[in-house]
Amino acid sequence: DTAVSQTPKYLVTQMGNDKSIKCEQNLGHDTMYWYKQDSKKFLKIMFSYNNKELIINETVPNRFSPKSPDKAHLNLHINSLELGDSAVYFCASSQSKGLAWREQYFGPGTRLTVT
Amino acid sequence: DQQVKQNSPSLSVQEGRISILNCDYTNSMFDYFLWYKKYPAEGPTFLISISSIKDKNEDGRFTVFLNKSAKHLSLHIVPSQPGDSAVYFCAASARWGKLTFGQGTILTVHP
């Protein structure tokens, strides 16, 4: 009964490859997020979807493309992977009403290593 | 530009004593602040929050203090327990949908 799940947990790949990370939430939330935790440990928002609509798109290279097939899923596809993409990627979800969106539920993270 | 900073990478405390974790921010538009806790190999979990109209919020052993003039908030844990050992992230929001996180402080509580 995992609330927010991500697959895979670990991903090791070579530069130039294309890879996807999947996220699913069973909390009935209507908003989902992708965060990147960089080498300095800051968690930075990348994208946010509300009811399958993209509402936040931070300064992220076009090689990153999120896709939300439904409210419970938010996938992240990365083209032409670069060394600097190595990081831990976290998916999160929340309700959008009132202040509830701030209390986000995070997945366990996907550690991406690009060699 | 890191708008939320936690300048102490780590903190070590004896069980039963008080743990004080600090966070500074630069964006005066932030109106809501949160603390998240993270165990290894898990995602962050929400711990406690405070609105900018308040200066204190308490939940059991956890209290968050906000000093708007100093753009500073702190998390107090009393008494500290070994199970509190984790990474603590401070976060802030100014607009719908976007949380800005600090880089975290590793808290170790020794038995």
Distance CA B4, CA A43 (A): 11
Two tokens at B1?
């530009």
Does the structure show a pLDDT above 90 at B109? yes
Two tokens at A70?
């439904």
State the average pLDDT over residues A86-92: 96
* Cis amide prior to B111 (ω within 30 degrees): no
Q: pLDDT tens across A91-100, in order?
A: 999 988 777 7
Query: Considering only CB atoms, which chain B residues are within 8 Å of A102?
Result: 32, 34, 49, 91, 93, 99
Does the structure show a pLDDT above 70 at A41? yes
Residue B89 phi, psi (nearest 5): -110, 135
Secondary structure element (H or E) that encloses residue A2, with its range: none
Share of chain B above pLDDT 70, in %: 100
Q: Chain A within 8 Å of B26 (Cβ-Cβ)?
A: no
Query: How far B87 CA lies from chain A's nearest CA (Å)?
Result: 11
Q: Chain B within 8 Å of A53 (Cβ-Cβ)?
A: no
Two tokens at A59?
């300064």
Name the pLDDT band for A51 (thresholds 50, 70, 90).
Answer: confident
Q: Chain A within 8 Å of B32 (Cβ-Cβ)?
A: yes
Of B32, B41, B44, the CB nearest to A106: B44
Average pLDDT, chain A: 92
Does the structure show a pLDDT above 80 at A2? no
Share of chain B above pLDDT 90, in %: 93
Two tokens at B17?
């004593």
Q: pLDDT tens across A63-74, in order?
A: 999 999 999 999
Residue B45 phi, psi (nearest 5): -125, 140
Output b/e per residue, A67-79; b: 16+ Cβ within 10 A: ebeebbbbbbebe
Residue A2 phi, psi (nearest 5): -65, 135
Residue B69 burial (CB count, 10 A): 5
